[in-house]
Amino acid sequence: MQETPGLGNDVRIGMGLNYSGGFAETVEEVADLEKAGLDIAFVPEAYSFDAVSQIGYLAAKTTTLELASGIFQIYTRTPSLTAMTAAGLDFVSDGRFVMGLGASGPQVIEGFHGVKYDAPLGRTREVVEICRKVWRREKVEFQGKYYQIPLPAEKGTGLGKPLKIINHPVRDRIPIVIASLGPKNVELTAEIAEGWEPIFYHPEKAASVWGEPLAKGKAKRDPSLGELQVFASPALAIGDDVEHMLDWVRPGLALYIGGMGAKGKNFYNDLAVRYGYEKEAENIQDLYLSGKKEEAAAAVPDDLVRAVSLIGPESYVAERVAAFAESGVTTLTVTPLAADRAGRVALVEKLRKICG
């Protein structure tokens, strides 16, 4: 099996792409970011444009940058199509694709796709197993709880037969990064995936919140997967006059903690509670769901905003990078807080010097 490029031990720099200003402009910026030292770019999907077409285009416009889906949702493609798509993107990028995978949430899956949101853990495990069968060019025969391939005769025409992918994939194991938050999901991720992508990663609270499920998953982990790579996603601003930018982070935190889901069914609110902000999380949610979004943002605790961000003078950011690394983070997938392309590129260059 070929070695997985990039997913090493040093702290790397990643970035989620924002194409709201136009895709042509984004492509030009990505080329500059690649020169500035960016290691991996995540292309979002959510319920916007698909990520596949954009990653394919970016593959032709870059040479060393890894390109990741951020994220493919497990419910919206069949497992075999997910594997085919990943293999195709790995092919056009000469082995630079990383498959970000996740369950998303019921609002998107049921509300936009009209597909039942059920059994995220079981489905994730089966999707990953099927994908790896496809990439190894095995005939796909799988009888799981959620996916049966070929489809049993009593459920279809009876004409299905085991097939293997026609082309030879560039790699027989494409790196999989799973976005997960809950203890059981994180345990599964640590067991079966090359990488883990949490949200609102708090270095000082990571061990108490996720340490046990990570340890349980790693105990069952196949050694051939290598060490679990951890992708944290802090906002980034470096300078002596960037303190006010902490307020730029608050609305996003309030949106997720307060507005993503309903009372009793909000994974991000649950995370804030596990971080120790139970009363604050309840207040943020009550304010947000009652339409008081600015008040909800103002209610996000200062220490939480600081902990999940890289905002401050260069010496302070260097200390925080060290804290992220010490807690196990291997890639900082940053959101540069700058008004223009030049500013974002400059921030990545500064962070590259800090990370070495």
Q: What is the pTM of this model?
A: 0.93
**What's the distance, CA 145 to chain centroid?**
26
Average pLDDT of the chain?
Answer: 94
Q: Report the range of poorest mean pLDDT among 94-98, 107-111, 144-148.
A: 107-111
Q: How far is it, in rounded angstroms, from Cα 235 to Cα 67?
A: 20
**pLDDT per residue as tens digits for the range 43-71:** 999 899 999 999 999 999 999 999 999 99
pLDDT the model gives residue 4: 40
**pLDDT per residue as tens digits for the range 243-299:** 999 999 999 999 999 998 788 889 899 999 999 999 999 999 999 999 999 999 999
pLDDT the model gives residue 36: 96
Give yes or no for residue 19 having a pLDDT over 70: no
Residue 22: band (very low, low, confident or very high) from pLDDT cuts 50, 70, 90: confident
Give yes or no for residue 8 having a pLDDT over 60: no
Give yes or no for residue 5 having a pLDDT over 50: no
pLDDT the model gives residue 303: 97
pLDDT the model gives residue 6: 38
3-state secondary structure of 67: strand
Q: Report the range of poorest mean pLDDT among 18-32, 55-69, 192-206.
A: 18-32
**pLDDT per residue as tens digits for the range 235-258:** 999 999 999 999 999 999 999 999
pLDDT the model gives residue 9: 42
Give yes or no for residue 3 having a pLDDT over 90: no
Q: How far is it, in rounded angstroms, from Cα 237 to Cα 224?
A: 37
Q: CA 115, 118, 124: angle at the middle one, nearest 5?
A: 100
Tell me phi and psi for residue 256, to 5 degrees: -75, -50
Say which DSSP state 239 is in.
S
Q: How far is it, in rounded angstroms, from Cα 312 to Cα 137?
A: 49
Share of the chain above pLDDT 90, in %: 90
Buried b (16+ CB within 10 A) or exposed e, 194-220: bbbbbebbbbebbeebbeebbebbeee
Instruction: Give the ranges where the chain is alpha helix by DSSP (H).
Output: 23-36, 51-61, 79-92, 106-111, 120-135, 183-192, 203-219, 246-254, 267-274, 278-289, 293-298, 302-307, 314-326, 341-355
pLDDT the model gives residue 169: 98
What Cα–Cα distance (Å) separates residue 291 from each residue in 72, 204, 264? 30, 32, 18
Q: What's the average model confidence in pLDDT over 335-341? A: 94
Give the number of other Cβ atoms within 10 Å of residue 341's Cβ. Answer: 16
pLDDT the model gives residue 7: 39
Structure tokens at 50: 């698909």
Structural contact between residues 246 and 306, judged by C-beta atoms closer than 8 angstroms: yes
Q: What's the average model confidence in pLDDT over 317-342? A: 96
Residue 73: band (very low, low, confident or very high) from pLDDT cuts 50, 70, 90: very high
Residue 162: band (very low, low, confident or very high) from pLDDT cuts 50, 70, 90: very high
